[in-house]
Amino acid sequence: MKKRSPLFTIAAHEYVMIYRDRIVMLLAMIAWILLAAAAYTGWERGQQTALQKNRAAAMFRHEWEEQQANPHSAAHFGTYLFKPNTFLSIYDYGLNRYLGVTYRVEAHVQHEVNQAEAQATDSQLRFGELSVSMVLQLLMPLLILLITYSTITREREGNTLPLLLMQGIQPEQLIWGKIAGNYAIVLTIVIPAFILLGLPVFQQGSQPDIPVRYGLFAAAYLVYFFVFTSIGTLVSAWSRSSGAAMVACIGIWFLLSVLAPRLTVRLIDERHPLPSRYELNKRIAQGYSKGMNGDGTSIQRHQRYLDSTLKKYGVDSVKQLPVNFDGLSMQYGEDYNTKVYEHYNGEVEEIIELQQEQLEKAGLGSPFIAIQQVSMGLSGSDYYHHRSFHHQAKKYRDEFIRILNMNLANSGAQYLTYDYKAGPDFFKRMKDFTYNPPPAKNAVAWHHLAWLALGAWCVLVMILVNLTAKQLIKIKL
C-alpha cells in the first residue's frame, strides 16, 4: 500500500478538524445565506430594471415612429437610449449605480449618460449595498482569516508542533499542508455557491461569452481566496498565540480591504482631478462659439460654409440653391460640434484612464483592489463598459441627427421655412439603437494590470511560504 505524503496527511487532518468545528460551520452557513440573499436581490432588481428600461425604450420608439413633424423639430424632440444591464452585473453592481443609464439624443447638444441610481438612493449606497461581489470581496476574506488564524498557533499552544517536527515533517510540508487543508474548507464553502450562481448564467443566451466571463469570474475569486488563506496561515506561523494571530489577521483584513482602497481612491482623485460637468460643458460651448485651432468663430465658419456652398452650386443666393441650406448648415454645425466635443471629452477620458491605471497598479498593495477591478470588468459594470456604451450611443446619435438634417436639406428649395413635415413612414425607416457589448477578451485586456496584480499576490505568498516557513517555525517554538 502506497504511503501517504506528510503534506496530504496534514491537509486531511486539518480539513477534518475545521469541518467538525461548529463555529466554522456556522460562519459558512452565514456566508451561504448572505450569498443567496445577495443573488436573489440582484436578480430581482436586475429583472425589474431591465423591464423598466425595455418599457421606456418601447414607449419612446413608438412616439418617435408615429410623429409627423419637421425633421429639425424632430431632432430637438429627440429620443432616449438606455444602457442595458449585462447579465453578470446582477452579481457585481460595480459602477452602474453611479455612471447613469440614460442617454438623450438631441440636436445641437452632446449629452452624457445620466440618471444614475445613486442620485435617488444616496443614503442606501452610503452604508453599502448587499451584493454577491461584496460578500465575496469583503466578507469571505474575513471568514477565511477567522478560519486560518489559529492553524499553526493551535499546534504551538497544544505542544504538538515540536512533536510534528521531530517526526521528520519538514516546516514547508507543515505549512503547505495547513494551507491545503484550510483552502479545501474554503472550496467546500464557495464551490457549491459558484455552481448555483452559475446555473442561470448557462441558461441565458443573450450574450455568447457570458459563460466564459463567469468562468474567469469564479477563477479570479478562487485565486483571491487562496491569497487570503495563505496570509492567514503565515500570520499564524509568525504569532506566539492564537489571540495575537487573530488581532493581526483582523488588522490585515481592515488594512487591505477597507482602509487601503479608500485611501488609494482619495489620493488618485487628488493627484488627477476631473473637471466638473459644468466646466466641461463650458469648455465645449466656448470651443464651438470661438472655434478651435484658428477655425474662426461660429459666425465666421457659417459664412465660409455658405460661400463655399454657393460656389459649389454656381449660384448667387440661398434662394437659388436646389437644396435646403438650413439642413446643410445645421449638419455642418453638428459636425463641428462633434469635433469640439470629442476633443474636450477625450481630455476627460484620458484623465479617467490615467486614474484607472493608477488604481489597478495599486492592486499590488491590496488584493482587494485587484479583485474589485477584475470582477467589475468581467461583470461589465466597470468604466470601460460604460464608455463603450457611451461611444456607441454617441455614434448612433450623430448618424441619427445627420439623417434628419439631410432629409431637411433634400426636401427642396421651396421649404426654406419650416413648413416641411415628414410622416411616420420616414421616421419608421430610421434604425433603432442596438448596443453591442464588448467581448470577454476586451474585459480582460482593459484590466490586465489588475490581473497581473492578483497573480503577483499569489506568487508572493507562495514565495513567502517557501522562503520563511522553516525559520518562522523555529523562531516561534
Place 127 in a pLDDT band, splitting at 50, 70 and 90.
very low
Reported as a single tens digit per residue, the pLDDT across 347-378 is: 999 999 999 999 999 999 999 999 999 999 99
**Helix, strand, coil shares, percent, the chain, to 5:** 75, 5, 20
Dihedral angle computed from the Cα positions of residues 115, 121, 123 and 125, in that order, rounded to the nearest 10 degrees: -80
Q: Is the pLDDT of residue 125 over 50?
A: no
Contact (Cβ atoms closer than 8 angstroms) between residue 78 and residue 110? no
CA gap 115, 112 in Å, rounded: 10
Angle, alpha carbons 461-467-468 (nearest 5°): 85
CA gap 423, 409 in Å, rounded: 16
Place 476 in a pLDDT band, splitting at 50, 70 and 90.
very low
Contact (Cβ atoms closer than 8 angstroms) between residue 453 and residue 360? yes
Name the grid cell of 106: 438631441
Reported as a single tens digit per residue, the pLDDT across 138-153 is: 999 999 999 999 898 8
The rounded Cα 274 to chain-centroid distance in angstroms is 19
Q: Check residue 304 and give its pLDDT.
A: 93
CA gap 48, 70 in Å, rounded: 36
Reported as a single tens digit per residue, the pLDDT across 255-308 is: 999 999 999 999 999 999 999 888 999 999 999 999 998 889 999 999 999 999
Contact (Cβ atoms closer than 8 angstroms) between residue 450 and residue 94? no
Predicted TM-score (pTM) of this structure = 0.90
The letter for the amino acid at 371 is I
